[in-house]
Structure formats: C-alpha cells, structure tokens
Amino acid sequence: MRKIFKTTFLLFAASLVLVSCKKFESINENPIAANEDQVQAEYFLNGSIIGAQQNPDVAERSFVLYWKTAAHQQEDNGLSSGEYNDGWTGAYYNQASEWLNQANTAIQIGEGHIEKGLAKPYTNNTIQIARIWRAYLLTEMSDVFGPVPIEAFQGKSPEFNDVKTVYDYALSELTEAGSKIDVAVIPTDAIKKLDPAYAYDYKKWVKYANSMRMRLAMRLSEVDPAKAKKEFEAAAATNNFIIAADEMFQVQEKPGWDQLTGVMSREWNPQYLSATLNNLFIGLGGVKSETLVSEDFKSFVKPADYIGLKFENHFATKTNDPSAGYWLDGLPEIIDPRAFKSFIIPGDFDNPNFSIFPSWNQTAKTTKRNLEDSKGAVVKEIEAKGTWNPGMNGDWGVKGSMNKVMANHPGTLPRLSAEFRKSTNKRIFFANWETYFLMAEAAVRGWNTPVDGKTAYETGIAKNFEYWGVTPGSYLSSQDYNRMGTSVSWDHIAEPPATHAMKFVNGYTGAEGVANIAYPKNSLYKNGAVKNDLLTKVITQKFIAQNPWQPLEAWSDHRRLGLPFFENPAIENPLIDLPALTNGTYMTNSVKFFPQRIKYPSSLQNTNAAGYQQAVAALGGADVVLTPLWWAQK
C-alpha cells in the first residue's frame, strides 16, 4: 500500500490545485509534509470525479470528435469514416488511467484507515462510493477500447481482462458497494464540498449504483440475455434508482481551461446537426414548427410534403440517407420540439442560445454562400437563413469541392445551442429519463419491471421534455412518421409504407417535381423489415433524449442493437478505412460501415508489449476501429 501511496501522491498534490479546495487544514497548507495516515480517501475520490470531466484537450478529442461523432449526435468526418488519431487516443487513455488510479487509491487509503483505527464515521461510505465510481470508470474505458485491466494501479503489473470479465466485475461491485452504504451517516459540511456530483448524499449514491446496474445489465441483452435479465431485475427490484431531476448524476461546469471546463466548449468545433438526428426529428410528434419559432421565422415554414431543392451535382447522393441530394430551403412543417432547442436555426441571431463560435470571425453569422462549377463560377447563391439542413459525413468528391455552402461553413447549418458551449451547464453522466427508457426496453423484452413499458416510455419522454422546458401535450399520442418511419405513440405500431411522395424543386432550373422517398432500410435491425415496433420507439426516444450529454451511451446502443438507423457515410469517393462500403453496398447497413471501438494508443504497445498482446488476445479480433466488442453486434 505504501508503494501505491508514493506513486500516486504527486498526482494527488496536483489535484489539490485543480479542485481549489481551500479548507483542507494542514494538508492543504503543506501537502508534501503529509503522511499516509493524514491523507483522506475523499481527497482522491474528489480528484477522480473532477478529472473525469475531461480537460479541454481530452474533451475536444474524446467526447466531441470521437464519442459524439461515432454516436451521430453531431456531423463530423474522422471516426465516422473509420479514421482515428493516436495522439487523441493516448491523451484519453492516460487521463482515464489516472482517474482509475485516484479511485483505487481512495479505496486503499480508506481501507488502511479502518485497519489502523483511524476511520471516521463516513470512511466506509467513501470506500463504497469509490467502488461505485470505479465501476463506472472501468466500463467507460472498456466501452471505448474493449479489454482493460481491472486490477491496474494496485501495486502489480496490469493484466488486461476481457470485456465480459470487466462487466461481471463492475456489476458485482455496484451490487455489493451499493448495499454497504450506510445512508444514516450524516456527512460534514467540509466533506460535502468534496463530492461534486451529490455532495455526499448517500441515498443518491445508492440510487446511482442501482441505475448503473440497470444500464450495464442492459448492455448484455444481446450477448447474454439470461444474465442481463437476472441482473436488471435484481436492480429494478430495489425500486431505488434515479427517477427525479435532483437525483441525476451531474457535475457543474465552469469557464476556463481545467477539468471542469465544459466538454463541448471549444470554439473551433461547429458541432453541426447530424443527418441521423435530423431524420429522427422531422415529422416526429405532430408538433408544428410555427408554434416553436419566433414571429420572424414563421414565414420560413414549408409544407410537410416538401423535401426541398434538388442539387444532384453539388450534394452527395451515394448514401442511404433518405434526404440525400436535397437542400431544404426553409423549415420543416412538423418537427420534434427539442430540435430547435438543441440546435439553433441559421440566422436566428436574436436567439440567446445562438452560438457565435468561432468568435474570432463572422462565419457563424454569414448565411449566404455559393454553389460553384468546376471553374469556380457561381452556379447558385444560397441564402441559409431560416433553413434546416444537417451536415453529412463521408467523401463528397468533386461535388464537395464545388459546394461552398456545406464546406465547413458554420453560418449555413444548425449548430449546437450555446447553452452547452459556455461551460455554465451541468454535465450529465446519468439522467432520470435513462432509467425510464431502460425500464421500457426491459418491459419490451418481457422482463419484470416496477412499471409497465408504456408508462416507463412516456415518463422517460416527459422527464426529458421537462429538462428542455417543453410539455408533451399531444406529442405522446402522435402517429406521424419521422423520416425513419417511426412514430411516437406507444399504441401505434403500424409500419409505414415503403415510400412516401415528396414535392421538390429542381435547384438549377426551378422546375417542380415529385419524388417517392423511401423510408430507409435498417439492415442492422431485423434485416430492415421493421421500423415502428416498440423497441425502435424506445431507442429513438432514448437517442434523442441522450443528446448531447450521453454520446458514449448512444454509440453503445447502436453497437448493441443497430438502433436507431444510422445513415452510411457518403462515398462519392471510396473511404480507405471503410473498404466494405462500396458502390454496391451503400444502400445497406453493416457493422463494417461504422466504428466499433477506438484502437489502443501506440504508447501501450511501446511501454507494455506483453499487456498489449494480452489485450488484443482478449479482444478477440484485430486492434482496429472496426472490431466489435463482446457485447456488440457482430
């Protein structure tokens, strides 16, 4: 234990500076002079939780460019096209290792104090909370890479464990640690300040442990349904999990450049509306856009059966996105009410949540751009104010070079609300709506749940609407299909027709036409034959609700179920890192078209060759982005 203490103390001392705790008595005044008996477990746990908020360097790369991109919660190339960056990966791997280091040290320090008779009334609870938090960190890291070492940073060489072992361990830890918390203990005011999530409200930590058990159990639903059912039902039977807004696991962000700086705060990332979210939003819920926008934007609303201007020479079409090739020169008539709150309409400068990023130029406020010919001459000027179009990933080839509207120009596309970019929000790790959507999915599977599936589903929607400050109204009973062919109403499971007629205008000639737009075939779920069953509804609503705080969970759901439908990257030119995606396959879906994990950083292989080989062997496939994890679709 003393060896562990020596290797982690410098990190701990640094964390004191980062968390700015000013009442640590003598240890804060002279941390170098502190001995093992003086250091308290809660200091290390505090450092671990705050560190896991991710400093801007790690957050920009991992949370935004990796997780949000893989989850299709934003539109961006890179990982969505199979690419990765070793430097970004190494930064996250090293930081995540430190967070685990601190959580383990908190447990070891606390156990040492109990052995020596130095324990305080809350020491045992601190140990159990550190175990709960460690279970989260292990599974977060495992969901990114695959096999990770359970017993690393505990005075022994790390041995990598396969994903099944990681999940078995995490579920066991959550169960045992949650049961050992004494909720009758009253934390001191000083101790409360060292828990940025719950201020050591022990009842809430127990709820978090049970909700986490439900999340991890559901992750096993496709690979080990018997264990998934058993673990889920045991957690659900406690009837003691996150259901209220004040029970959510969330941590306050703050402006600056440290671990508490907002994970989505970097100005140079536009964080565009994704095609996936757009296809889920449009038509869903029966709510008319004119009731959601300001008076200045009501005139921009287009009829529901209008898809936009067709520009087949400037917009990629080699993708299975049903909206490919069209530019909607206005706002959709019907849209999920959360759409305009999470992503702001181009040109809506009076909206307090309009993001001016990047602040060093006027690109966010420049809404007029051109489509050009191969020689650079203007073919069409596009006014993007009051329009609603997602970005699209992949390779647009020559079309992309002539399209100056979509070419990384912030002012022309809906971008993430400034509410999430100013470092003044709370980062959500586990929300109350997720608990309800987990119960809804469990009910669909026939598992025992505290409430029936419909109640859980509708409550999950209501809780998320509450977060956004809107009311469901008639939304819950809507039978309108979105562009995926899914409706909201739990009782409406009629499948959509194969196609639906949509009016369009030829963007070059002005000629009007009608196109039969197909609802996309999701080959990853029931071979594309089903678009509006109960599970699709649950995951559709869960995916929307998890935006933008839970991209890793959204990505994991898609890897596990193939839901919701993800459009393929455009392949006007072949994508080197997605060789299976070709001119003959792009209208279908395959796990070979979407990233399944992040490749281990080269630093692991360079510094621990034996451990790296052990990790790859436990992975059960090559150390590449496209190798599915144990619990994912194959």
pLDDT tens, residue by residue, 196-216: 999 999 999 999 999 999 999
Provide the sign of the torsion angle of the four alpha carbons 69, 425, 297, 363, taken in this order: negative
Q: Answer whether residue 15 shows pLDDT above 70.
A: no
pLDDT (mean) for 449-459: 98
What integer pLDDT is reported at residue 440 of this predicted model? 99
DSSP codes joined into one string, 96-160: HHHHHHHHHHHHHHHHHHHHTT---TTHHHHHHHHHHHHHHHHHHHHHHHS-EETTTTSSS---E
pLDDT tens, residue by residue, 213-263: 999 999 999 999 999 999 999 999 999 999 999 999 999 999 999 999 999
Integer Cα distance of 211 and 232 in angstroms: 9
**Residue 552 tokens, joined:** 């890793």
Quick one: angle between helices 123-145 and 86-115, nearest 10?
160
* Contact (Cβ atoms closer than 8 angstroms) between residue 567 and residue 276: yes
> pLDDT confidence of 18, banded at 50, 70, 90?
very low
Buried b (16+ CB within 10 A) or exposed e, 24-57: beebeeebeebebeebbbbbbbbbbbbbbbbbbb
Integer Cα distance of 404 and 324 in angstroms: 17
* Contact (Cβ atoms closer than 8 angstroms) between residue 306 and residue 329: no
> pLDDT confidence of 3, banded at 50, 70, 90?
very low
pLDDT tens, residue by residue, 100-116: 999 999 999 999 999 99
What integer pLDDT is reported at residue 30 of this predicted model? 36
Mean pLDDT of the chain: 93
Q: Answer whether residue 152 shows pLDDT above 80.
A: no
pLDDT (mean) for 71-78: 93
Q: How many CA atoms lie within 13 A of 459 on its CB side?
A: 21
Q: Which residues contact 460 (CB under 8 A, 6 or more apart)?
A: 433, 434, 435, 436, 437, 440, 541, 542, 545
> pLDDT confidence of 357, banded at 50, 70, 90?
very high
**Residue 25 tokens, joined:** 């008595």
What integer pLDDT is reported at residue 356 of this predicted model? 97
pLDDT (mean) for 511-522: 98
Q: Answer whether residue 10 shows pLDDT above 80.
A: no
Integer Cα distance of 445 and 230 in angstroms: 12
- CA dihedral 505→506→509→513, nearest 10 degrees, is -60
pLDDT (mean) for 610-629: 97
* Contact (Cβ atoms closer than 8 angstroms) between residue 46 and residue 19: yes
Q: Which residues contact 222 (CB under 8 A, 6 or more apart)?
A: 560, 561, 631, 632, 633
The structural domains of the chain, with segments of one domain joined by +, span 275-420
Helix count (H) and strand count (E) of the chain? 20, 14
What integer pLDDT is reported at residue 19 of this predicted model? 37
Integer Cα distance of 126 and 240 in angstroms: 20
pLDDT (mean) for 482-507: 98
> pLDDT confidence of 11, banded at 50, 70, 90?
very low
| Amino acid letter for position 631 | W
Integer Cα distance of 135 and 205 in angstroms: 13
pLDDT tens, residue by residue, 38-60: 689 999 999 999 999 999 999 99
Q: Answer whether residue 394 shows pLDDT above 50.
A: yes
What integer pLDDT is reported at residue 390 of this predicted model? 96
Q: What percent of the chain has pLDDT over 90?
A: 91
Instruction: Return the percent helix, strand and coil in the chain, to nearest 5.
Output: 45, 10, 45
* Contact (Cβ atoms closer than 8 angstroms) between residue 473 and residue 462: no
